[in-house]
Amino acid sequence: MNIKSLLLGSAAALAAVSGAHAADAIVAAEPEPLEYVRICDAYGAGYFFIPGTETCLKIGGKVRTEGEWYNAYNRDSHQGTLWHTRAELNVDTATDTEYGPLKTETIVRWDWNDGGSTSTNLLWSYISLGGFTVGKKDSQYNLYMGYAGDVINDDVIYDGPYELNQLTYEYDGGNGFSAVISLEDSNSATTGSASYGASWWTDDKTNHYAPDVVAGAGFKSGAWGFKVVGGYDSIVEEGAIKARVDADFGAFSAFLMGGWNTDGDKLNKYAGTNQDVSACTAPNGTVNAAKCGWGDWALWGGVGVPVNDKLKWNLQLAYTDSKMFEATTNIKFRPVKNLLIWPELTYVHYDYAHDDTVSGILRFERNF
């Protein structure tokens, strides 16, 4: 009886203590519900809502590596193989407003060449709303026209400037008609050096403040498209006009583009050069800067032929009044989605320098 009484008493005591502790127990808070990322498909694939906002975000980019043999932009170059690697990060945002989408696009680029250090460049960074764009991107003289062919070396014969600040208005009529007008940075803060590719040339930018002006218009109907654009260099006080016809027949696509320089004896931002000074150096050492450019006019033409879903062949030809001729061909091979293997060859004839060059590139590129 004594043992039984002791056990019963112990059980009662433990029950009492347990009850007291239960009364003081800490209850864990319920976890807050997670807000999962929502897809934002109003602005195309890849966008998602930033949690807690109505702003859509898209992140992408590319990694690229390539070997280059000789140099299509420098006839005096004797480099053997130059290996170049690049990475780009793209960040796009979009928010719906009463005036249409408020968008931004930022592209940051990192480059590394054989034997050198890594360089960083803010390639594009701009804001757009209601047809207006302000910030840094390629000149509308190039961008609106669609550049000069589906080849890497598309600007061996200069077709216009690239990265610069601008205030642009673009109009899309929805019926095939489009137009653009742009005030672009004249680069007048950079003393001396030219703003049209020829870093070896100089301009007088003393007390200059006016922007450059670009304007263009175009029409597309079915397989055919036509565009014209003009640019005025406010420092040189000259300019150029380009006109382009495009045709897409399904089995192949083609374009023809012509440019006219307002003064063929001068280089300007819209009829400049990407060539080294050796391109306009005669065998006797005489330098004529205009021979590195168009002269009075330039012509470009190209064709693209899709062989199948993975393979495409491209050809671009260009010729100038200064008697510079360029031919570039490549094959774009996509073995799997988002991977591109891109071999290319370029031939350039320099009439003034009495010389010819052949160069090549083998590029590997992964987009994401």
Mean pLDDT, to the nearest integer, of 171-190? 89
- At 6 the pLDDT is 44
Instruction: Work out the pLDDT band at 203, boundaries 50, 70, 90.
Output: confident
Tens of pLDDT along 80-114? 788 999 999 999 999 999 999 999 999 999 999 88
* CATH number, span 53-367: 2.40.160.10
Written as six digits, the tokens of 190 are 């950079």
Closest C-alpha among 45, 283, 52, 259 to residue 157: 259
Tens of pLDDT along 272-303? 999 999 999 988 888 898 899 999 999 999 99
The answer, yes or no, to whether residue 191 has pLDDT greater than 80, is no
The answer, yes or no, to whether residue 359 has pLDDT greater than 60, is yes
The answer, yes or no, to whether residue 45 has pLDDT greater than 60, is yes
CA distance 100 to 42: 12
- At 169 the pLDDT is 98
- At 116 the pLDDT is 80
The beta strand positions in 38-131, using DSSP E, are 48-49, 56-69, 81-97, 100-113, 119-129
- At 163 the pLDDT is 93
Instruction: Work out the pLDDT band at 27, boundaries 50, 70, 90.
Output: low
Mean pLDDT, to the nearest integer, of 193-201? 67
CA distance 346 to 329: 7
For 4, phi and psi rounded to 5 degrees?
-60, -40
Written as six digits, the tokens of 27 are 């209850």
- At 195 the pLDDT is 61
Written as six digits, the tokens of 55 are 């702003």
Instruction: Work out the pLDDT band at 15, boundaries 50, 70, 90.
Output: very low
The domain ranges of the chain are 53-367
Mean pLDDT, to the nearest integer, of 149-177? 95
Is residue 185 within 8 Å of 166, Cβ to Cβ?
yes
CA distance 217 to 170: 10
Instruction: Work out the pLDDT band at 23, boundaries 50, 70, 90.
Output: very low
